[in-house]
Chains A and B, each alone.
Chain A
């Protein structure tokens, strides 16, 4: 349990650093002013992730103060069925994503070349990622 406590402590620290950086970015942009759509999008994306990070940070802080909550969190994060489900979702999900991009790419080829190349790049990235991860875990396990 001590190893898990250290992991939670480390994760809470990383989450705190992210929150501080996000607030600093928000203040800076509020002073300087939003210049373009890309920055606005990045800020919105960062804030969305920030909300998730804060949610987890609250859970981690509560667990670090209460032994029962820490044990519950440990069980929740290490439950073998949940991990099995995650592995299945990840594997099958990636195959579905690759197939969907491939179909979308074939359709987009008739209408818009930019969309076609974007989908092609995304599909190739996923396919390469799948091969690399497959090789990595074949050697690791």
Chain B
């Protein structure tokens, strides 16, 4: 699944480690989500969205599921 996490992180000058610590996962999990290898759970998606003060849909691209 495509996400805007990497872009948002860079925009906010955050490292993967810092974001990972803030949402309670490992850095490797953030890496996997950013490259689209792993799809975050609803809880993690919510935590990430809340961290960036955005909605889940604004960060995660669900267009693939609509096909």
Contacts and interface: CB of A to CB of B under 8 A. Distances in A.
Interface of A: 71, 74-76, 78-82, 84
B24 interface: yes
Contacts of A84: 38
Chain B contact-residue range equals 10 to 19
B30 to A, nearest CB: 9
12 contacts: A75-B20, A75-B21, A75-B24, A75-B25, A75-B26, A78-B24, A79-B26, A80-B40, A81-B26, A81-B28, A81-B29, A82-B29
A13 B40 CA distance: 34
A78 B29 CA distance: 12
Contacts of B25: 75, 79-81
